[in-house]
């Protein structure tokens, strides 16, 4: 191991994690690792696209993020708020792609702040008059334009927004309803609050929540940068897995922890690590995946040879299968092009039997 890192034992015999992940290590009975992910994408934007969609970027089509696929394939379950949510989004949040902008992720920042634009700035009676006036404009626009109003989906969008503004499900974003001890377990950080909000959101019917922890691009001072980030990651990830398991929702909720690529095995001259798509890891819990498993390994000498190489496409084929979605199902794009939900191969040994 490089200076500055140390392995610790976990709840699963023979499986180790890096120091700093002690609370996650205690949850390893519910978490499996694929330690041999490989990719051909070493650029941030292209790597992010690949990891979020399972497809390499292609100028002829915009693929939906896996969260959009899940929303498209699973029933709505009475959700009155967006079913695809991105908390603390980076530059490239999950998109609906060829499934349409309606499945783009709903973007919010730190859940400590009030959710913006969901409270009318005027009294209810005045807001109702405004919506009545809007309907007059809508009808005027529709006259002589058969089908145009429907094609814009403006009326549908306004109705969905009003339904969300009135919904009691918005309380899922209000973390003050959680006991102080619970909030403390997740960590007093934006990421910790994001993971706690994610747990609350899936409980009211949201299908996919993405929580981003940025800052891993450690070209300088790798160990110092990652130590700070791990202090936010460890309590949040461990608490999320533990809470979902104790509430008996982990078995039908998949939790993934992954970046767009790995870091070079050796430090550069600035004590940093650079982009390395030739071998990295993903942690998976729940959603029909058996915990305590390890698939593959990276080259112990720091080279490009990995044991049992897999791609994020294989991971998504596995996760979709665990959620009851056929990864070989073909969708037809607006350009009449058939595209499978995943080009990957299911990692059968990860799934519960």
Return d(Cα 312, Cα 306) in angstroms, integer. 15
Helix, strand, coil shares of the chain, percent, nearest 5, are: 40, 15, 45
Q: Residue 81: is it exposed, middle or buried by C-beta count within 10 angstroms (0-12/13-18/19+)?
A: buried
> 1 in a domain, yes or no?
no
> 118 in a domain, yes or no?
yes
Q: Which residues contact 283 (CB under 8 A, 6 or more apart)?
A: 24, 31, 32, 33, 237, 255, 256, 257, 258
Report the SS3 class of residue 107. Answer: strand
Would you state the pLDDT for residue 154? 76
Report the SS3 class of residue 283. Answer: strand
Q: Residue 177: is it exposed, middle or buried by C-beta count within 10 angstroms (0-12/13-18/19+)?
A: exposed
Higher local confidence (pLDDT), 120 or 26: 26
Higher local confidence (pLDDT), 252 or 141: 252
Is residue 2 predicted with pLDDT exceeding 50?
no
> 244 in a domain, yes or no?
yes
> 2 in a domain, yes or no?
no
> 137 in a domain, yes or no?
yes
Owning domain of residue 65: 7-350
Return d(Cα 35, Cα 264) in angstroms, integer. 14
Give which of 206, 200, 155, 156 is closest to 177, Cα–Cα: 200
What's the number of domains the chain is made of? 1
Mean pLDDT score, 244-264: 97
Would you state the pLDDT for residue 3? 52
Over residues 284-300, the pLDDT tens digits come to 999 999 999 999 999 88
Higher local confidence (pLDDT), 300 or 243: 243
Is residue 272 predicted with pLDDT exceeding 80?
yes
Is residue 149 predicted with pLDDT exceeding 70?
no
pTM greater than 0.95 (yes/no): no
**pLDDT class for 4, splitting at 50, 70, 90?**
low
The dihedral over CA atoms of 244, 245, 248, 253, expressed in degrees to the nearest 10, equals: 50
Would you state the pLDDT for residue 140? 83
Return d(Cα 259, Cα 266) in angstroms, integer. 18
Is residue 113 predicted with pLDDT exceeding 60?
yes
Would you state the pLDDT for residue 190? 98
Domain of residue 246, CATH code: 3.40.720
Residue 330 C-alpha from the chain's centroid: 23
């Amino acid at each position: 191991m490089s200076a500055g890192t140390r392995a610790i034992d976990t709840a699963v015999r023979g499986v180790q994690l890096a120091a700093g992940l002690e609370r996650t290590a205690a949850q390893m009975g519910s978490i499996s690792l694929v330690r041999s992910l490989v990719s051909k994408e070493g650029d941030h934007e292209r790597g992010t696209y690949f990891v979020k969609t399972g497809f390499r970027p292609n100028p002829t089509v915009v693929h939906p993020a896996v969260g959009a696929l899940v929303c498209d394939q699973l029933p709505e379950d009475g959700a009155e708020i967006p079913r695809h949510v991105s908390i603390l989004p980076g530059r490239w949040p999950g998109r609906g792609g060829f499934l349409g902008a309606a499945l783009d992720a709903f973007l919010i920042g730190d859940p400590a702040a009030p959710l913006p634009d969901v409270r009318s700035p005027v009294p209810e009676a005045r807001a109702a008059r405004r919506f009545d006036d809007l309907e007059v404009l809508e009808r005027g626009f529709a006259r002589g334009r058969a089908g145009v109003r429907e094609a814009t989906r403006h009326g549908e969008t306004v109705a969905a927004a009003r339904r969300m503004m009135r919904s009691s499900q918005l309380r899922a974003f209000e973390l003050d309803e959680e006991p102080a001890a619970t909030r403390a377990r997740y960590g007093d950080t934006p990421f910790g609050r994001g993971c706690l909000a994610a747990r609350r959101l899936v409980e009211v019917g949201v299908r996919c929540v993405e929580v981003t922890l940025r800052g891993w691009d450690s070209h300088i001072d790798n160990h110092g940068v990652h130590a700070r980030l791990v202090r936010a990651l460890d309590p949040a990830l461990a608490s999320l897995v533990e809470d979902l398991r104790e509430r008996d929702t982990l078995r039908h909720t998949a939790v993934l922890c992954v970046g767009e690529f790995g870091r070079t095995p050796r430090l550069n001259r600035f004590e940093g690590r650079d982009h390395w798509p030739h071998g990295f890891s993903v942690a998976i819990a729940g959603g029909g995946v058996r915990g305590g498993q390890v698939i593959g390994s990276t080259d112990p000498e720091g080279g490009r040879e990995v044991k049992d190489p897999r791609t994020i496409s294989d991971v998504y084929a596995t996760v979709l299968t665990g959620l009851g979605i056929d990864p070989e199902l073909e969708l037809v794009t607006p350009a009449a092009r058939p595209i499978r939900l995943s080009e990957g191969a299911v990692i059968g040994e990860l799934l519960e039997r």
